[in-house]
Chain A
Amino acid sequence: LAKTTQPISMDSYEGQEVNITCSHNNIATNDYITWYQQFPSQGPRFIIQGYKTKVTNEVASLFIPADRKSSTLSLPRVSLSDTAVYYCLVGGALNTGRRALTFGSGTRLQVQP
């Protein structure tokens, strides 16, 4: 399974854009990149998923370069409620069977007022 590397922690202020980069040098051809958000004592919440280029939804954008060895989660105008741990995972490829997503250490984002 592809291993991911993320910064352990990041700090930001309300209203700023936050970009969290994840490296996954060993990503397989069929792997997707998925980001989750987790608050204390809650299960991870799906944020966004992509395979290549750029994906945008109402919550975030995901930028994936052509070599797919890294990805960047972009959170526009963060608020205090975005303080959480963000996990980057690779896997869950289309129709490839039953591999579970493997969690790395995640990035602890702290948003200050």
Chain B
Amino acid sequence: GAVVSQHPSRVICKSGTSVKIECRSLDFQATTMFWYRQFPKQSLMLMATSNEGSKATYEQGVEKDKFLINHASLTLSTLTVTSAHPEDSSFYICSARTSGGGETQYFGPGTRLLVL
């Protein structure tokens, strides 16, 4: 299957700082990538849809000015958590959708963010 990577795998930061998470599709091009957030013992919640070359579409309740998404190329999308607070601590997972044929989302390994 298609491979999606994320970097970093885990990050610890101080409250008020910004953190950037990268999501890359390694062996295919993805015009659309998605960002999810997952709290302990809960399911994945979609945060936003990232489209290459255009603005991201955010789900209701997700602050676009706090979670900045950039999809500059067909293989890279970034999520920047600005002015992070402890309540932003979570597991962030990206996915990329293959194009052509039956569309399938492939997920990255996730990034564990801990804000102190």
Chain A contact residues, CB within 8 Å of chain B: 32, 34, 36, 41-46, 49, 51, 87, 92-95, 98, 100-106
Q: Is A41 a contact of B91 with CB atoms below 8 Å?
A: yes
Contact between A45 and B107, CB atoms less than 8 A apart: yes
Q: Which of these binds chain A: B11-19, B42-50, B62-70, B73-81?
A: B42-50
* Nearest chain A residue, comparing its CB with the CB of B6: A43
Contacts of A94 in B (CB 8 A): 101-103
Interface SS of B by simple majority: strand
Chain B residues within CB distance 8 Å of chain A: 1, 4, 6, 32, 34, 36, 43-46, 49, 51, 57, 91, 93, 95, 97, 101-110, 112
**Contact (A102, B49) CB under 8 Å given A34-B104, A42-B109:** no
Which residues on the B side are within 8 Å of A36 (C-beta)? 107
Q: Chain A residues with Cβ under 8 A from B49's Cβ?
A: 98, 100
Chain B residue nearest to A102 (CB atoms) is: B46
